[in-house]
Structure 1
Amino acid sequence: MSNKKMEKSEEKCALQEILGVIGGKWSMSIIYALFPGKKRFSELERLVPNINTRMLVKELKNMETNGIVVRKVYATVPPTVEYTLTPKGQKLEPIISELYKWGLEYVG
């Protein structure tokens, strides 16, 4: 296999891994909602239109596993849970903001 083909194959693999982390249907919307700062679970449900509770839980768990968000639980009744972006997640801000601008120009 030539070097160019191997490089293309490696690029595709890296892209697939990236999409596995932030490519979920709701991931970018959740990350975008967290740019201003920490949010409670119920706030995220309101800020991400049309997401159901089960999908929000699933996406947040995936992003927590991949080091994009931090989940903090407070010992209150009922329990309070807050989510914030990690430094790794915060680095996505310029990328997602540019995608948002592109979408406003070409998709809407």
Structure 2
Amino acid sequence: MAADDSNGRLDDDDYPAYTMGRAAEILDTTQGFLRAIGEARLITPLRSAGGHRRYSRYQLRIAARARELVDQGTPIEAACRIVILEDQLDEARRINARYESLDPDHSR
């Protein structure tokens, strides 16, 4: 693999660059929390050749939002559902903005 290929991957939000330990450290949480949100199907880490969980920057942002909600007293299952719905809403807004940019005369 060429060095510029790895640099490109590290710039990719979906590239699984972080081990579970490093992800927990970045989020200032426990590995158990990462396992729990994985079990709740909020994020599904990729696995290394050795079977270790690997997380992307996108997954870390999702996990950070879930942790924020849990820290505020929201049960983990509810926090995961909220984060999923927020993510879906963000995606719908991005799609809507693209459609509106194609038809600038579109009025509401």
TM range (shorter): 0.3 to 0.5
From the two aligned structures, give the one with the greater strand fraction.
Answer: 1
User: TM-score scaled to structure 2, two decimals?
Assistant: 0.32
Please, what TM-score do these two structures have when normalized by structure 1? 0.32
